[in-house]
A and B are shown apart, each in its own frame.
Chain A
Amino acid sequence: MQRPYIITINNLSKVYTEKYSNIQYKALDNINLNIEEGDFTAIAGPSGSGKTTLLNIIGALDKPTSGEVMIENTPLSTLTATESAQLRLKNIGFVFQAYNLIPTLNSLENAEYVALLQGVPQNRRRNEILQILKELRLDNLANRKPSELSAGQQQRVAVVRAILGRPKIVLADEPTANLDSKTGAELIELMKTMSQNLGITFIFATHDKMVMEKAKTLIQLHDGKII
């Protein structure tokens, strides 16, 4: 049975114009793509192939030059800046390549940041957060600042932060790039478990073979085109 698509991308292109030379560069070239709800999707491709650009547009952080992205049934092009911010807050979790966390907050506070922004009372999520941190062997690091955590630990806290907001989609741009392959593999396993348990759609960019293999769906980008 076909699951409903959570993300629909039609004829998406992104053209960058260089500031001084006015040379135009097509970072994304007529992308058509549907992603099912609960999928665990990797976007793979060499450096400069357009992975970050695509994730930024899906995450309503950037606007396409042409084409449309629909999340559930909302076309992103119709949203104002404030509405985009609201959409991100409610529906999309983000994990970036590195230095994801707010330096002045400890692990626990970072983990609950998005939930707090959503207006969830602190005490309602605390037990849940502590439970998850425990499962991830992060509970003894709850009071540490990001500068006192390893890169892998920081990324795990970032994943916890993303899923605690109960998003529909988590976008992760090369979340394992700064990690050794073992730690990277662990992080991807963690994301996969979360995806299965909570039914969250994960999309992550990577150029690491080991990481790609763990994806349910693999999308290959090359020079802005899906191959």
Chain B
Amino acid sequence: MNTFTKIGWRNITRNIYRSSITIAAVAVGLASLIFLKSFIDGADRQMVENYTDLLIGHIQIHKAGFQKNMGLEKSISGPEALISSFKSTPGIRYAVARIKDFALASSPESSSGIMLFGIDPTAETKISILHKRIRQGRFLEKDDDDKIVIGRSLADHLKVATGDKVVLMSQGADGSMAAAAYEVCGIVEAGAEEIDKGLALITLKAAQELLVMGNKVSEIVVKADSLEKIDDIKEILKSKVNTNKFEVLTWKEISPMTYQWLQFDQVFTGLILFIVLLVVAAGILNTVLMGVLERTREFGIMLALGTKPSQITKMVTMESLFLGLFGVLIGSVAGLGLVIFFGKIGINLSAISSALNSFYIGSVIYPRLDAMSFCLYAAIVLLVSMLVSIFPAKKASRLSPIEAIRHI
């Protein structure tokens, strides 16, 4: 081993107590960073999954302009060909057609503006989990063409229960006045205000009849095998349809607010990373600087004997590299251990879960760690521990030998 590496190493072991505390600080910093990142990633992912599972799916295909300005004139005729072509595309789990339009729902007591969905009851269960959120009655079934499912808050507002009638009013595709009565067969409680307050589901066939749409639909909703594939699949779908006539939108484009919220999460993680790095940096700086100050005489002698300042710099930098390496090693193992452990059993947040529900996050969060962030964080912490030593190292190498030797 090189003499300076040797001296550096022995200085770590000479003050084993102080070194251990520094190593522990680095390790705790990195471990909490890894854990926090994977916690937030896990929660974010759950949020996206729950959000897209509930209603909007991963990708929606409309006639061009539909997302900006909804209207029956922008509807897709003959959707079966598109759907079967989508279903056979690798990476796509399922695809369904829906009608989507504004309508007015009234009961003898009250009325309210709603978002009306016409769905295929059996196919829909493969793409959304709304049927699992029925709190009263049941979900729509095949041939339930005179039945309706509405949200909890809407039902309260209209003062209706299962078995009661609700009248839907809208304008048909041909410009005619559309109105029909439906029997409430189920009340859904999604925990998301926009759904509970403003959602009504009837069968696709009933909607086509009410709105005079023939066999046309408003949108095709696609579900991918995993969230990671969404962007790739979007491109594939764009190559399958005429993009002048159709728009292919991912959930990020359909719900930019939700997406921005996730971006904010990442900024937040970055901020925490920064704070942890500051703590780690301060810890290492303190140790290395103290080590340098108390060895002033030693450096003076080394310099007087002809040691190059650059060799002194190297030695001091080595010391903090050792501290950083050990800290990063232990911190990685601890952080990974935490992520793996809680990734299995989950972190139960039921105490505050009612608040989480409105963010589409369940009450048990499973941390997830991607290899990229892990390596990145470990590398950054190591780098910071090296960078921080530059100041004490320079200080040591620039000592005047005479003054340093006089120093006891």
CB distance from B293 to the nearest CB of A (A): 15
Question: Known contacts A56-B402, A105-B7: does B14 contact A89 (CB below 8 Å)?
Answer: no
Bound complex: CA A104 to CA B308 (Å) = 19
User: Hey, which chain B residues are within 8 Å of A103, CB to CB?
Assistant: 14, 298
Contact with B along A46-68 (1 / 0, CB 8 A): 00000000001001011000000
Question: Known contacts A114-B306, A116-B3, A117-B306: does B301 contact A102 (CB below 8 Å)?
Answer: yes
User: Hey, which chain B residues are within 8 Å of A100, CB to CB?
Assistant: 301
Contact, CB under 8 Å: A113 / B405: no
Bound complex: CA A89 to CA B302 (Å) = 10
A131 contacts chain B at the CB level, 8 A cutoff:
no
Chain A interface residue bracket vs B: 20 to 34
B305 contacts chain A at the CB level, 8 A cutoff:
yes
User: Hey, which chain A residues are within 8 Å of B6, CB to CB?
Assistant: 104-105, 109
Question: Known contacts A99-B297, A104-B11, A113-B3: does B401 contact A89 (CB below 8 Å)?
Answer: no
CB distance from A80 to the nearest CB of B (A): 13
Dominant secondary structure of chain B at its interface with chain A: helix
- Contact for A104 among B14, B303, B402, B405, CB less than 8 A: B14
Q: Quick one: which of A142-178 are within 8 Å of B by CB?
A: 161
CB distance from A113 to the nearest CB of B (A): 7
B236 contacts chain A at the CB level, 8 A cutoff:
no
CB distance from A123 to the nearest CB of B (A): 14
Contact, CB under 8 Å: B304 / A102: no
Contact, CB under 8 Å: A113 / B304: no
Contact, CB under 8 Å: A104 / B10: yes
Nearest neighbor of B311 in chain A, beta-carbon distance: A117
User: Hey, which chain A residues are within 8 Å of B304, CB to CB?
Assistant: 59, 61, 88, 94, 96
User: Hey, which chain A residues are within 8 Å of B302, CB to CB?
Assistant: 102
Bound complex: CA A180 to CA B36 (Å) = 63
B307 contacts chain A at the CB level, 8 A cutoff:
yes
Contact, CB under 8 Å: A61 / B11: no
Contact with B along A76-116 (1 / 0, CB 8 A): 00000010011011100010100111111100010001101
Nearest neighbor of A103 in chain B, beta-carbon distance: B298
CB distance from B7 to the nearest CB of A (A): 5
Q: Quick one: which of B369-408 are within 8 Å of A by CB?
A: 401-402, 405, 408
User: Hey, which chain B residues are within 8 Å of A104, CB to CB?
Assistant: 6-7, 10-11, 14
User: Hey, which chain A residues are within 8 Å of B311, CB to CB?
Assistant: 117
Q: Quick one: which of B1-33 are within 8 Å of A by CB?
A: 3, 6-7, 10-11, 14
Nearest neighbor of A158 in chain B, beta-carbon distance: B301
Nearest neighbor of B8 in chain A, beta-carbon distance: A104
User: Hey, which chain A residues are within 8 Å of B297, CB to CB?
Assistant: 99
Contact, CB under 8 Å: A96 / B301: yes
Bound complex: CA A86 to CA B401 (Å) = 14
User: Hey, which chain A residues are within 8 Å of B307, CB to CB?
Assistant: 85, 117
Contact, CB under 8 Å: B298 / A102: yes
Nearest neighbor of A99 in chain B, beta-carbon distance: B297
Question: Known contacts A104-B10, A104-B11: does B303 contact A85 (CB below 8 Å)?
Answer: yes
Bound complex: CA A116 to CA B2 (Å) = 10
Bound complex: CA A70 to CA B169 (Å) = 109
Question: Known contacts A103-B298, A104-B10: does B305 contact A61 (CB below 8 Å)?
Answer: no
Nearest neighbor of B7 in chain A, beta-carbon distance: A104
Contact, CB under 8 Å: B305 / A114: yes
CB distance from A167 to the nearest CB of B (A): 10
Nearest neighbor of B408 in chain A, beta-carbon distance: A99
CB distance from A141 to the nearest CB of B (A): 18
New A-B contacts (5) at CB < 8 Å, excluding given A89-B306, A90-B306, A94-B304: A85-B306, A88-B304, A88-B305, A113-B3, A114-B306
A-B contact pairs, 15 of them (CB 8 A): A59-B304, A61-B304, A88-B305, A88-B306, A90-B306, A94-B305, A99-B301, A101-B301, A104-B7, A105-B10, A109-B3, A109-B6, A113-B3, A114-B305, A118-B306
- B-binding residues in A (CB < 8 A): 56, 59, 61-62, 82, 85-86, 88-90, 94, 96, 99-105, 109, 113-114, 116-118, 161
- A-binding residues in B (CB < 8 A): 3, 6-7, 10-11, 14, 297-298, 301-308, 311, 401-402, 405, 408
